Structure formats: structure tokens, C-alpha cells
């Protein structure tokens, strides 16, 4: 393995936890800390679009150039595609630019209102331009790799999913976790791992599936996991009986891997790398993207009532192991 302790990288991202949004971009924060633990010097330029809107991108090129002028960096790593990545890859020419694509930036869908559809289409086109210009590309799954534009040199594309903090996400006593949250001990609890307002997460499908189980007389409660600091998420997962994922598209959803690390059963539609993650795990199910099938798979999990034995399956996805893979990408680009 090449030594990269002297490498200095500028990370440019619009995904970063803040007091206003503590659950936003936690996986990027973890990736940065994993690299720092390996001795890589990293400065972070956070383009806070939640606070300042899309206008923050208008200053992205200038801000990156200013950072490069004032400090010496060996490469720039743009963590998320879209307009931000397009601007950075256009403005930065004197050091290698690595772009990490995460999901929606490459897999635009016709969901949400007209403004959402137009915005996602614009972002995808910007992502394709950024991909062509970049020195290297990281994608979270094979599905995202397949969405890259034709003619891309596959020798400069790496598939590296997001890592899991296995020290934080670990099995705990379910009853104790429920007591901490004030959840009923007499109901089944299902986690929906995202903000219901995000159209690509397809909350209505999960809600319809749970409502059909409730109509059958089953005591099932659906909890949306949103707005929580990362440190609180393991308690929710360990209190739950199952996690349900109904997204229209994903990269490599961390919620699935975190649930497996806690031995919590997962029911998911076939998106991103979920099929690979759930393969041959007794007690987890892939479902068709229909309310009856999601409900059927949830019913099987809930009535079975058994925790998984799946934690070992995510050992290879620890933060430290995936940080090592990303370090090797840095070494290749810097060399």
C-alpha cells in the first residue's frame, strides 16, 4: 500500500452536519474523519446550501480558487456531484479533481413537483459534465457506475460505498432502547430512515404498506428517522423491529448497513447496492415497489420476531477499511 501521509486534500461539499441539520451529510463527515485518522491532511470547504440556497454555488469556483491560492493542496475532492462539481472541475486545472457521486446527482427521476424535476435534470447534466472533466470518480454502487456517461475511462472509476461506524452502530437490548424513547412495548415498530418530505425516498409507499397491516388488525407503528443527531440513531434502530426502505433510487444507503450492524431486519425495494447487502441474510427481504408486497415482506419479518445474525456481514464496510480504499485512490491520483 502506498504511503500518503504527506497528502493534503481540499474537500468541497454541500453535505455536512450543522446544528440546524445534524443529520445532513453525516456520511461525508465520517469519510473525512476516517481519512484524517490515516494521516491525510484535509481542509473542508462546506457550501451550505441549506442556509444560503443555490446561490452559494455561484461563489464556489471563486472560493475554491482562493483556497488553492492561499494553501498548497495535492488534490481537490468534491463530495457530491451536480452544479457544484461542474463548477469546481471547470475552474480547477492545476491539481487533480476527484468527484464522489452519491445517488440523486446521477440518478435523476421524474418525482416531486415541476421545480424538483427541472432541478434534478439540471444537476444530472452538470454531473455528467463534471464526470468527463474529473481526474477520478468515486461512485457508491455499480448502479451509479453504470449511469456515468459513455466514453469514461473505467480505469479512473472506483466503486467505494460509504462506511459504517461499527463502534456506534452495535446491537443493544431492545426493551431498554424502547424505554428510552417511550415507545410502546405492545406494538411492532418499523423505521423509515429518511425525511418523508423527500420525494425520492417514497414515504407514501412505506406508509401505505404499514396502513394495510394496521387494517388487518396488526399493531404496527411507523417512525420516520429524520432530524436526529447521529448519536441518537442507534437507539432508534435497536428499538425497532424492522427497517423499511422504499426509495425510487439510492447509491449505497447507509441506513441499511447500519441496521445490519445492529442486527435489525431490513425490508427494501431493489435500489442501489441493497441486493448485494441483503444477499443470503435470513430474515431480510427484497420487495417489489408495491404496497401489497412491501406489506407482505414486513408481515413476515414482524411475525417471525427474530433478530438477525448479520453484523459480521458489514465488517468489510467499516469506516477504517473504506477510508483505506479511498486513501489508495488519493495515492493513485497524486502519483
- DSSP letters of 73-136? -SEEEEES-HHHHHHHHHH--SS-EEEEE-STTT---S-SSHHHHHHHHHHHHHHHHHHHH-SE
Buried b (16+ CB within 10 A) or exposed e, 107-137: bbbebeeeebeebbeebbebbbbbbeebbbb
- The answer on pLDDT for 59 being more than 50 is yes
Q: Please name which of 66, 114, 110, 104 lies closest in space to residue 83, comparing C-alpha atoms.
A: 104
- Which range, 53-57, 113-117, 178-182, has the best average confidence (pLDDT)? 178-182
- The answer on pLDDT for 110 being more than 80 is no
Query: 237: which 3 cell numbers?
Result: 434502530
Residue with grid cell 502519483, as numbered in its chain = 335
pLDDT band at 304 (very low <50, low <70, confident <90, very high): very high
Residues in the chain: 335
Which residues 6+ apart lie within 8 Å of 312 measured at CB?
none
Query: 92: which 3 cell numbers?
Result: 480547477
Backbone torsions φ then ψ of 100, nearest 5 degrees: -100, 120
- What pLDDT, on a 0 to 100 scale, did the predictor assign at position 114? 41
pLDDT band at 1 (very low <50, low <70, confident <90, very high): very low
pLDDT band at 120 (very low <50, low <70, confident <90, very high): low
> Matching CATH topology for 8-163+318-334 and 174-316?
yes
- What pLDDT, on a 0 to 100 scale, did the predictor assign at position 111? 52
Task: Enumerate the domain spans of the chain.
Answer: 8-163+318-334, 174-316
| Fold of the domain built from segment(s) 174-316 | Rossmann fold (3.40.50)
- Assign 172 to helix, strand or coil: coil
- The CATH number given to 8-163+318-334 is 3.40.50.2000
Distance CA 256, CA 281 (A): 12
- The answer on pLDDT for 247 being more than 90 is yes
- The answer on pLDDT for 109 being more than 80 is no
The predicted-structure confidence for 166-218, as pLDDT tens digits, reads as follows 999 999 999 999 999 999 999 999 999 999 999 999 999 999 999 999 999 99
Q: Which helix (H) or strand (E) holds 245?
A: strand 242-245
Mean per-residue pLDDT over the chain, rounded:
91
The predicted-structure confidence for 5-51, as pLDDT tens digits, reads as follows 579 999 999 999 998 888 888 899 999 999 999 999 999 999 998 88
pLDDT band at 299 (very low <50, low <70, confident <90, very high): very high
Amino acid at each position: 500500500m502506498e504511503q500518503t501521509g504527506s497528502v493534503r486534500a481540499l474537500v468541497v461539499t454541500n453535505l455536512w452536519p450543522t446544528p440546524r441539520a445534524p443529520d445532513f451529510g453525516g456520511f461525508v463527515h465520517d469519510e473525512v474523519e476516517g481519512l484524517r485518522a490515516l494521516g491525510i491532511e484535509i481542509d473542508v470547504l462546506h457550501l451550505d446550501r441549506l442556509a444560503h440556497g443555490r446561490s452559494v454555488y455561484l461563489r464556489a469556483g471563486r472560493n475554491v480558487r482562493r483556497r488553492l491560492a492561499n494553501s498548497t493542496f495535492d488534490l481537490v475532492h468534491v463530495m457530491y456531484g451536480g452544479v457544484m462539481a461542474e463548477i469546481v472541475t471547470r475552474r480547477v486545472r492545476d491539481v487533480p479533481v476527484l468527484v464522489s457521486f452519491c445517488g440523486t446527482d446521477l440518478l435523476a427521476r421524474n418525482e416531486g413537483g415541476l421545480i424538483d424535476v427541472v432541478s434534478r435534470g439540471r444537476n444530472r447534466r452538470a454531473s455528467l459534465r463534471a464526470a468527463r472533466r474529473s481526474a477520478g470518480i468515486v461512485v457508491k454502487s455499480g448502479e451509479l457506475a453504470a449511469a456515468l456517461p459513455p466514453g469514461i475511462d473505467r480505469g479512473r472509476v472506483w466503486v467505494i460505498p460509504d462506511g459504517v461506524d461499527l463502534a456506534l452502530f452495535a446491537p443493544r437490548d431492545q426493551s431498554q432502547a424502547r424505554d428510552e424513547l417511550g415507545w410502546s412495548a405492545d406494538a411492532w415498530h418499523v423505521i423509515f430512515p429518511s425525511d418523508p418530505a423527500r420525494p425520492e425516498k417514497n414515504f407514501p409507499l412505506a406508509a401505505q404498506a404499514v396502513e394495510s397491516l394496521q387494517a388487518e388488525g396488526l399493531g404496527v407503528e411507523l417512525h420516520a428517522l429524520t432530524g436526529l443527531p447521529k448519536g441518537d440513531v442507534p437507539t432508534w434502530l435497536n428499538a425497532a423491529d424492522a427497517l423499511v426502505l422504499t426509495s425510487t433510487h439510492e447509491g449505497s444507503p447507509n441506513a441499511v448497513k447500519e441496521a445490519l450492524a445492529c442486527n435489525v431486519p431490513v425490508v427494501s425495494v431493489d435500489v442501489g447496492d441493497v441486493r448485494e447487502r441483503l444477499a443470503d441474510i435470513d430474515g431480510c427481504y427484497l420487495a417489489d415497489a408495491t404496497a401489497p408486497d412491501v406489506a407482505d415482506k414486513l408481515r413476515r419479518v414482524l411475525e417471525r420476531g427474530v433478530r438477525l445474525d448479520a453484523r459480521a456481514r458489514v465488517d468489510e464496510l467499516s469506516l477504517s477499511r473504506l477510508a483505506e480504499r479511498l486513501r489508495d485512490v488519493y495515492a493513485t491520483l497524486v502519483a
